[in-house]
Structure 1
Amino acid sequence: MYVDPPAPKPKERDETPPASTAGPLENPPRAWEFNPDYQRLVVAWNTVLPQLETLRTALDKAYGLARSPQTWDAPVGERYVQDIREWRTRLAVYRHSVLTSISDEAADTPRWIPTTANAPHAFP
């Protein structure tokens, strides 16, 4: 079984941009915005996770029913149980790869980016 990687964190209500570390020579002061690319990763995670959970729940239910001795009364039933077990394994690997891909991309994407919007300009 795989453990889900860390999810990208959505912007919190009271979260503020990073403090400017530039000295007094920075003119105009830097303005920040929450990175739209990072926000897309948050949305992707929140969209994909429930769908993967729905698939996992459906396969777990089918697997539980297939393993029940009341479901199959013939040796051929074991073949179906093995097929469902393989589907569950493939789904677990797929889930891990999709969530890891989103998590890795979020780790490499800055949460805040500098912007020129709403920053003071020399000429109106």
Structure 2
Amino acid sequence: MYADPPAPRAKGRDEVPPITSTGPLEDPQRAWRFNPDYERLVVAWNTVMPHLETLKTTLDKAYAMARSPQTWDAPVGERYVEDLREWRDRLARYRLSVLTTISDEASDTPRWVQTTANAPHAFP
């Protein structure tokens, strides 16, 4: 079984832009906002997880039922168990692929970006 990669973190209620060692931010003329691209990755993760969990739960239930000696009374049943085992493995690899892609993209995307909105200007 595979372990899920780290999920992108949603913006906390009291989270503020990062503060550097030289002061509140590198450029005081710029305002900061939570990166909308990063937010999309958080939404993508939260959207796909329930679907992957539903698929996993359904396949696990079918696999458990197929392995039960009360379900199959013929040797042909082992073929169906093997098919379900293969589908469970495929789903696990697909899940790892999708979640790793989102996680890798989130690790390469900054959480905060500078914006010119609400920045002080010399002329109104």
TM-score, normalised on structure 2? 0.93
Structure 2 Cα separation of the partners of residues 19 and 30 of structure 1: 13
* Root mean square deviation, CA, Å: 1.6
The answer as to 2:114 corresponding to 1:114 is yes
Shift in Å, 1:121 = 1.0
**What are the equivalent positions in structure 2 for 1:87-106 lying under 5 Å apart?**
87-106=87-106
**Identity between Structure 1 and Structure 2 (%):** 77
- Rate the CA distance shift 1:27–1:75 in 2: closer, same or farther, 3 A: closer
Q: Which amino acid aligns with 2:51?
A: Q
Aligned equivalent of 1:44: 44
Shift in Å, 1:20 = 5.6
- Rate the CA distance shift 1:85–1:13 in 2: closer, same or farther, 3 A: same
Aligned equivalent of 1:12: 12
2:94 aligned counterpart, secondary structure: helix
Q: Structure 2: where are the runs of 5+ without partners?
A: none
Shift in Å, 1:123 = 1.4
Structure 1 runs of 4+ with >6 Å offset: none
- Rate the CA distance shift 1:27–1:39 in 2: closer, same or farther, 3 A: closer
Structure 1 Cα separation of the partners of residues 58 and 93 of structure 2: 16
Q: Structure 1: where are the runs of 5+ without partners?
A: none
Per-residue CA deviation, residues 75-108 of structure 1 (Å, 9 max, x unaligned), is 0000000000000000000000000000000000
Q: Which amino acid aligns with 1:17?
A: P
